[in-house]
């Protein structure tokens, strides 16, 4: 079955919204030096701007997820994009640090609203046989949007000032948000309009496959977040690079690895699904087990060129699990609970991932040196391989094990 023009329209629009989600998020970091000078801020104050966003983002997601299962998801997508774009715009109008802290925290509210509903909404427009590739394309917005955010922020901030950088990146998000309001809800959701009582969401905590997928993602996010924060510093300290060149090289490697890894992971999962229903999890544990050795070898490399190549392959493989695991959540959670499922997933992957990894890597670095800290962060990926294997086993038992079908299924489905 070929994809329809409307399906392609949904994919294109949701991808573009997601792209500016990450552009608006990352542009702040590109203009850190300019904001620091203009507002006379300390590094601690700058760092807390990033932390405040992440705290609000992950804590607000469950609240939006509850309503995401009750309202038209295109409405939430559109309103969320408009909301974060408006506050990105306001970030360029602030007069002091307190106002900037407020606007960046508010951006986290809007992006949490979008992040909880968009994955399931997009996936439901496509057949199960296509979802690995579709969700991989969706996940491409993470490395590509982040890279564009760094590049646009640096260019616009340097040429036009950091305030104008916020103004210019906010406008496309506003337009995309308005366009999203006119999207239709998926047929699958319209066929299942029943609302789940709040108390019934505790069933998510009994879904072993879902939880193992979420914690596997958290392990990947922990390592990727640690690398993102500290690899440029590692290049500066170990190979004598300038700060600008270190950031450019790591950003280039990350965006190339992210694009290649996401596409490869989605394609591999959909191809393998022709032969086994555990395809998402097989790609998942291969992703983690292949990534860790390259990451470890990168720390041991004696030359910059070799280190960059090894980091590229480490990130290429770790990015492979992103699309398949988004698709796995859609498959293992009923349609009327998926927004909350992605909301809880957001909380788990950030609370146990990149919200803590830069700090913990820094603690180990102070105690034993940055090379050892990064070595341990990438070695940690092996645990993600183990949890991915367990996720595949529980999926087999709970969803395709006859009498062992999972409690989240409807009674009529379990009896089928």
Is the predicted pLDDT of residue 252 greater than 90, yes or no?
A: no
- Across 120-136, average pLDDT: 90
Q: Which range (111-115, 140-144, 304-308, 380-384) has the least confidence? A: 140-144
Confidence of residue 416 (pLDDT cuts 50, 70, 90): very low
Fold match between 7-192 and 194-416?
Answer: yes
Question: Which one, of 181, 143, 167, 193, lies nearest residue 26 by Cα?
Answer: 143
More confident residue, 320 or 64: 320
Give the span between the Cα atoms of 159 and 161, in whole angstroms: 6
Is the predicted pLDDT of residue 408 greater than 50, yes or no?
A: no
Is the predicted pLDDT of residue 314 greater than 80, yes or no?
A: yes
Question: Which one, of 271, 277, 281, 291, lies nearest residue 324 by Cα?
Answer: 281
Give the span between the Cα atoms of 89 and 98, in whole angstroms: 16
- Across 211-220, average pLDDT: 96
Question: Which one, of 253, 251, 235, lies nearest residue 243 by Cα?
Answer: 235
- Across 234-247, average pLDDT: 82
- In the chain, what are the domain boundaries? 7-192, 194-416
- Across 296-320, average pLDDT: 95
- Across 297-316, average pLDDT: 95
- Across 13-25, average pLDDT: 93
- Across 138-151, average pLDDT: 85
- Residue 347 has, within 13 A of its CA and on its CB side, a CA count of 13
pLDDT tens for each residue of 153-180: 878 888 898 999 999 999 999 999 999 9
Widest distance between CA atoms in the chain: 65
Question: Which one, of 119, 48, 60, lies nearest residue 84 by Cα?
Answer: 60
More confident residue, 267 or 41: 267
Give the span between the Cα atoms of 44 and 208, in whole angstroms: 39
Selected from 1.20.1250.20, 1.10.260.40, 1.10.1040.50, 1.10.3720.10, the CATH number assigned to the domain covering 194-416 reads 1.20.1250.20
Residue pair 212/385 in contact (Cβ under 8 Å)? The answer is no
Is the predicted pLDDT of residue 186 greater than 70, yes or no?
A: yes
Q: Is CATH 3.40.50.720 the right assignment for the domain spanning 7-192?
A: no
Return the pLDDT at 401: 63
Return the pLDDT at 193: 63
């Amino acid at each position: 079955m070929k994809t329809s023009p409307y399906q392609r329209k949904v994919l294109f629009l949701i991808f573009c919204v997601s792209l500016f989600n990450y552009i608006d998020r990352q542009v702040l970091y590109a203009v850190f030096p300019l904001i620091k000078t203009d507002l006379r801020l300390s590094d601690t104050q700058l760092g807390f701007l990033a932390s405040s966003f992440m705290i609000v983002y992950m804590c607000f997601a469950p609240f939006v997820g509850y309503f995401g299962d009750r309202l038209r998801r295109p409405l939430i997508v559109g309103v969320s994009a408009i909301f974060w774009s408006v506050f990105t715009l306001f970030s360029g109008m602030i007069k002091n640090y307190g106002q900037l802290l407020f606007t960046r925290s508010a951006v986290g509210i809007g992006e949490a609203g979008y992040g909880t509903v968009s994955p399931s909404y997009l996936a439901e427009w496509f057949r199960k046989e296509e979802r690995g590739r579709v969700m991989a394309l969706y996940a491409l917005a993470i490395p590509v949007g982040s890279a564009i955010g760094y590049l646009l922020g640096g260019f616009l901030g340097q040429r036009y000032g950091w305030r104008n950088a916020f103004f210019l990146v906010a406008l496309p998000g506003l337009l995309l948000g308005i366009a999203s309001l006119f999207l239709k809800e998926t047929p699958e959701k319209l066929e299942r309009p029943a609302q789940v009582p709040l108390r019934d969401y505790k069933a998510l905590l009994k879904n072993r496959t879902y939880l193992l997928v979420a914690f596997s993602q958290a392990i990947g996010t922990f390592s990727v977040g640690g690398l993102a924060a500290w690899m440029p510093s590692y290049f500066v300290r170990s190979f004598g690079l300038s700060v600008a060149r270190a950031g450019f090289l790591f950003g280039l490697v990350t965006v190339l690895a992210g694009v290649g890894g996401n596409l490869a992971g989605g394609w591999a999962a959909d191809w393998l699904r022709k032969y086994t229903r555990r395809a998402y999890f097989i790609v998942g544990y291969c992703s983690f087990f292949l990534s860790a050795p390259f990451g470890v070898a990168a720390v041991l490399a004696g030359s910059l060129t070799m280190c960059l190549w090894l980091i590229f392959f480490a990130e290429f493989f770790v990015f492979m699990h992103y699309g398949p695991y988004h698709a796995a959540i859609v498959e293992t959670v009923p349609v009327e609970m998926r927004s909350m499922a992605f909301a809880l997933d957001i909380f788990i992957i950030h609370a146990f991932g990149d919200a803590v990894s830069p700090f913990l890597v820094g603690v180990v670095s102070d105690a034993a040196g940055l090379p050892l800290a990064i070595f341990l962060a990438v070695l940690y990926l092996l645990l993600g391989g183990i949890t991915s294997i367990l996720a595949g086993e529980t999926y087999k038992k709970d969803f395709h094990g006859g009498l062992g079908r999972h409690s989240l299924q409807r009674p009529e489905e379990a009896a089928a």
